[in-house]
Structure 1
Amino acid sequence: MEAILYVSHGSRVPAARREAARFVEQCKAAIDIPIQELCFVELAEPDIATGVDRCAAQGATRVIVIPLLLLSAGHAKQDIPAALKAAKQRHPSLEIVCGAPFGVHDAMIDIIIDRIGEQPAPLDHESMVLLIGRGSSDPDTKRDIAAIARRLQEKTSVPHVDVCFLAAIRPTLDEGFKRAQASIYRRVFIVPYLLFTGVLMKTVERKLQAMPVSDQQWHLCSYLGYHPRLVTLIQQQVQALSAAKKGA
């Protein structure tokens, strides 16, 4: 019997955990697999080990692990595989297969465009976008955010998309804001490339509130959130991993 184990990043902020739980309920309704559980990499319970245990206790013989992560960095490359390896030692007869983070995908660009479209101002030739990533010491993070920025610019024809990061790598959030302030663009659309609310989103909000008054218009878009487009990506990933088993 197959099971799905959704692995969210985790947060100390209760609202973030509730957002993940609500999203998993949407996935459960869209995917016809009897066992579906949610767990977290860190900062919340249940952890990955407990998530696997819960799947096994319900009779799962094969667990499809779906990382609810935006990009492939330390959690996807190290933490999740290590936790799954330990779980496999406790459940040697259980088959565990792991999917990939959402990554650089056209659906992610469409979500950004949706969030920008929620703002009252137009994204036009007088506009720029400041794309804010979480940040990681993994070099793939900077590469992937740069690729997303290029695709966003191509898809919207906005004159300029700049990037900055909240941690670990440059340009920093302060540097990103300073470059936007010094730019020629009348409107700056700030897009936090984050999956859920929490401390990092509050950091962006505080930074914007501290900005000096100027003729520039600054528009803070919502973080990406557990957008309905992500359900489709997960459906496709589950179908591919299930088909791989059937074709083996």
Structure 2
Amino acid sequence: MYERPVLLVIAHGSRDPRHAATVHALVRRVRSRRPGLRVEVGFLDFNIPSVQGVLESLSAEGVRDVVALPLLLTRAFHAKADIPAVLAGAPPRLRIRQAEVLGPSPLLLSALERRLHEAGLTPADKSSTGIVLASAGSTDPEAIAVIADIAHQWRRTGWCAVRPAFASAALPRTQDAVRELRALGIRRVAVAPYVIAPGRLPDRIAAGAAEADADVLADVLGPAPELAALLLDRYAAAARDRHPAMV
């Protein structure tokens, strides 16, 4: 038996092996920050173990309490529909609390800044650099509005300009946002992928940055320490909630 709820990180999954490798690297960092916490990972599609398989294994071991944490940056279709549907099919002995998605959070902005600095920018470059905040995209208006709001908030930290862009489902595309900033007279433009792991859509973001000759392309968020800290924050909030949404 486990006194603390098990943390189950739920990732989307991808045919691209870099995706699962990055998710596992992030989970290892979470475990290293909280050695006494059991952390598992399950995938919705393409990769193993599946979420359902992990839940069945936990139930067979006698685990009772689980915090299911969507490895998602916005509250869109997967968080609203796919994940609740999978969790609803869990073994009935499990008590499952679904944590909030990761974004928005100041920790994510810190991770974005980290990746830009690793790509060559310095704090002194802020006032002369325009940023394209490039996300995967969604058909959910709430998710699109959140990305736009993050861009607005990030702009207030000192960047010359910040524009949202999307790899799918919404406009503008990365290359169009880069060109828009150029048209405003901004000489240095950096693309910051607002995605967690490599894959088809992050590759599309990178291709758009190259097509429009962006000066800087940051890496995906990946196993950034800020992301690991954020996962633990979301876990803690769900674990201590006296009136959680139980699945």
Q: Is the 8 A contact 1:190 1:221 kept in 2?
A: yes
Look up the match of 1:129: 131
1:46 CA drift (Å): 1.9
Which residue type is aligned with residue 118 of structure 1?
E
Relative to structure 1, is the Cα distance of residues 26 and 119 closer, same or farther in structure 2, using a 3 angstrom cutoff?
closer
Unpaired stretches in structure 2, ≥5 consecutive residues? none
Look up the match of 2:167: 166
Look up the match of 1:184: 185
1:194 maps onto 2:191 in alignment: no
1:138 CA drift (Å): 0.6
Q: Over aligned residue pairs, what C-alpha RMSD do you find?
A: 2.1
Which sits farther off after the overlay, 10-19 or 229-238? 229-238
Which residue type is aligned with residue 161 of structure 1?
V
Structure having greater relative contact order (Cα 8 Å, sep ≥ 6): 2
Look up the match of 1:225: 222
Relative to structure 1, is the Cα distance of residues 191 and 49 closer, same or farther in structure 2, using a 3 angstrom cutoff?
same
Select which of 48, 52, 73 maps to 2:76: 73
Which residue type is aligned with residue 128 of structure 1?
G
Relative to structure 1, is the Cα distance of residues 241 and 126 closer, same or farther in structure 2, using a 3 angstrom cutoff?
closer
1:18 maps onto 2:15 in alignment: no
For the residues of structure 1 that align with 2:97 and 2:36, how far apart are their CA atoms?
A: 15
Relative to structure 1, is the Cα distance of residues 146 and 120 closer, same or farther in structure 2, using a 3 angstrom cutoff?
same
1:93 maps onto 2:96 in alignment: no
For the residues of structure 2 that align with 1:47 and 1:167, how far apart are their CA atoms?
A: 25
1:154 CA drift (Å): 1.1
Q: Is the 8 A contact 2:178 2:189 kept in 1?
A: no
Instruction: Give the TM-score of the pair, scaled to structure 2.
Output: 0.88
Q: Is the 8 A contact 1:71 1:144 kept in 2?
A: yes
For the residues of structure 1 that align with 2:204 and 2:239, how far apart are their CA atoms?
A: 40
For the residues of structure 2 that align with 1:129 and 1:135, how far apart are their CA atoms?
A: 17
Q: What is the SS of the residue equivalent to 1:4?
A: strand
For the residues of structure 2 that align with 1:15 and 1:82, how far apart are their CA atoms?
A: 26
Q: What is the SS of the residue equivalent to 2:127?
A: coil
1:183 CA drift (Å): 2.6
1:62 CA drift (Å): 1.0
1:242 CA drift (Å): 2.6
Mapping for residues 33-182 of structure 1, pairs under 5 Å: 35-87=38-90, 91-122=91-122, 123-155=125-157, 157-182=158-183
1:11 CA drift (Å): 1.2
Unpaired stretches in structure 1, ≥5 consecutive residues? none
Relative to structure 1, is the Cα distance of residues 205 and 240 closer, same or farther in structure 2, using a 3 angstrom cutoff?
closer
Look up the match of 2:12: 9
Relative to structure 1, is the Cα distance of residues 117 and 84 closer, same or farther in structure 2, using a 3 angstrom cutoff?
same
For the residues of structure 1 that align with 2:193 and 2:207, how far apart are their CA atoms?
A: 13
Instruction: Give the TM-score of the pair, scaled to structure 1.
Output: 0.88
Kindly tell me the number of residue pairs found equivalent between the two proteins: 239
Q: Is the 8 A contact 2:10 2:71 kept in 1?
A: yes
Relative to structure 1, is the Cα distance of residues 175 and 81 closer, same or farther in structure 2, using a 3 angstrom cutoff?
same
Look up the match of 1:242: 239
Q: What is the SS of the residue equivalent to 2:75?
A: coil
1:203 CA drift (Å): 1.8
1:245 CA drift (Å): 5.6
Q: Is the 8 A contact 1:71 1:101 kept in 2?
A: yes
Q: Is the 8 A contact 1:36 1:55 kept in 2?
A: no
Relative to structure 1, is the Cα distance of residues 33 and 75 closer, same or farther in structure 2, using a 3 angstrom cutoff?
farther
Q: Is the 8 A contact 2:135 2:165 kept in 1?
A: yes
Q: Is the 8 A contact 1:109 1:151 kept in 2?
A: no
For the residues of structure 1 that align with 2:215 and 2:237, how far apart are their CA atoms?
A: 41
**Sequence identity (%):** 26
1:209 maps onto 2:240 in alignment: no
